[in-house]
Structure 1
Amino acid sequence: MGLVCDVVGRVLALFLLIAMPAFAQAQSGDMDKSAIVGLIQKQLDAFQGDRAAEAFGYASPNIQQMFGTPDNFLAMVRQAYPPVYRPRSVDFRELVTSEGRIVQKVLFVGPDGVPVIAEYFMERQPDGSWRIDGCRLDRGGDQSA
């Protein structure tokens, strides 16, 4: 009986060793999704209030360098991304990996009433936080994604 219990105990221990990394990864993914959605929502709130410096602060260092100033960044968003700048509605979709990058998909209905899928490219910073490293709008894509 002792041998059977020992074998069962080892099998159970092996199962737990195999299952724990997957469980931890799923938990980590949920925490990342929550942090990413929260970050994007904060930037959207900053756009709503025309708080350029705050919105700019959520962008990655590369994006900040590209635009130079918060005012330049806000002007670009206002002109090129009206659904993001003044959305009628926002629906966060799935968090995916595409070409080795973390991408948060968001369904926006813009001020013109037209739905558009935004792909937010995310970048993890050395301190573990996330920043937005670009956004691409798919105006003709499938809106059910």
Structure 2
Amino acid sequence: MRFIFAALVALFTGLSTPQAMAQESDVRAVIAAQIEAFEADDFEQAFTYASPTIRQVFRTPENFGVMVQRGFPMVWRPADVRFLELENRDGALWQDVMVRDVAGDVFILEYEMIELDAGWKINGVRIRPAVGTA
């Protein structure tokens, strides 16, 4: 819940068009909902926000959950989540998210998003070092 406030603040700052605002809001809502599902250990729900490609790779919510716990523990149990820029990069839409883990370490996660008939889905996440943040 602590990151919902950050999402709302970010939503109302720096946006230029109603369409861009709606897109950013929708993208951030998907990421926030997946993180909430991880916090509740609801890997089945978290898996629903993954793209078909990700779902095919991991096949089951359980496999997906194990990957997140081992590879992205800061997302599984975040202390703080803040949405940064939403950008088109090389033909893909990327949402940057700053995550602080329970130890106080800061990570910038880059979420690749794709839009399907069913709405926005997460098509991959990569970790970028959070240089200059404390």
The TM-score range, normalised by the shorter chain, is 0.7 to 0.9
Unaligned 5+ segments in structure 1 are 1-24
| Structure (1/2) with the larger helix percentage | 1
For normalisation by structure 2, the TM-score amounts to: 0.84
Report the structure number with the largest CA radius of gyration.
1
Q: Which runs of structure 2 are paired with 1:61-100 in the superposition (5 Å)?
A: 61-100=52-91
Unaligned 5+ segments in structure 2 are 1-15
1:138 corresponds to 2:98: no
1:41 corresponds to 2:29: no
* Count of residues in correspondence between the two structures: 119
Q: Which has the higher contact order (CA 8 A, sep 6+)?
A: 2
- 1: distance between equivalents of 2:130 and 2:23? 28
For normalisation by structure 1, the TM-score amounts to: 0.77
CA-based RMSD? 1.6
Identity of aligned residues (%): 35
Residue by residue over 1:38-63, the C-alpha shift from the partner in whole angstroms, topping out at 9 and shown as x without a partner, is 11010000000000110000000000
- 1:69 maps to amino acid: T
Q: Which runs of 4+ in 1 moved over 3 A?
A: 140-144
- 2:60 maps to amino acid: T
